[in-house]
Amino acid sequence: MLLENQTAIVTGGSRGIGRAICVALAKEGANVVTCYAHGAKAAEETVSQCKEYGVQALAVQADIAKTEEVDHLFEEALKVTGSLEILVNNAGITKDGLLVRMTDEQFDQVIDTNLKGTFYCMRVASKHMMKKRYGRIVTVSSIVGLNGNAGQVNYAASKAGVIGMTKSLAKELGSRNVTVNAVAPGFITTDMTNALPDTVREQMAKEIPLARLGQPEDVAHAVAFLVSDAASYITGHVLNVDGGMAM
């Protein structure tokens, strides 16, 4: 129980990687507060799975692209134990399309949620963690933020941006015993990849040295390590969880 008596906020925890992170932290003893923009039923399923480990868990409806809703999320989280030790910025969206056809709205929506939403959450969490002189912040970026990807200019910009914020905030908060890191998943098995034809999935796997797509739990285990005391001397780092794809 590496995280016993700690409270974690995990944004976008209703399914996929976010749910796996919530469950992994709960398994280590952390109380978990997650948020969702849509899909209350799925979020409550995450809560139910977390509670199986004897921790407190809560789902809060909040759009992290709106600063007032981020404030509400943190207010609800602080009601659980009165403190906050962990923030995992996982919530994100895609609005894919070639740049020449990408609309202002498609670009802005992705930036508002993935980049500005992460900024809003980091800003509020930093105030609490600086006062406590302890904290762990992990942001879910993407291999796309490192390598780029055709048809995802907006998404790549947002995921590259959160890496820049991670490194900058790590320098700001290091003296307060707050670590700030990121994970960069590669091809992970999710609802989106499951909908792809088998031939496409097979081709994706061929591009990966480990010759398979990752599982949400692979990312969750990396996050659980980074928020634990086992990683207390790691900050400003981007950990690729990609089966070697970005080598």
Which residues are known catalytic residues? 155
Which residues, 6 or more positions from 228, have their beta carbon under 8 angstroms from its beta carbon?
A: 2, 3, 28, 136
CA distance to 78, 107, 160, per residue, from 164 (Å): 28, 19, 7
Triad 176, 235, 17: Cα angle to 5°: 115
Question: Residue 111 belongs to what H/E stretch?
Answer: none
Residues 39, 15: contact at Cβ < 8 Å?
Answer: yes
DSSP string, 23-75: HHHHHTT-EEEEEESS-HHHHHHHHHHHHTTT--EEEEE--TTSHHHHHHHHH
Q: What is the dihedral of CA 229, 82, 28, 166, to 10 degrees?
A: -50
Q: Which of 240, 239, 8, 206 minimizes the C-alpha distance to 121?
A: 8
Q: Which residues pair with 178 in a beta bridge?
A: 135
**Alpha-carbon gap, residue 187 to 242, rounded angstroms:** 7
Amino acid of residue 150: A
Q: What is the DSSP string of 44-56?
A: HHHHHHHHTTT--
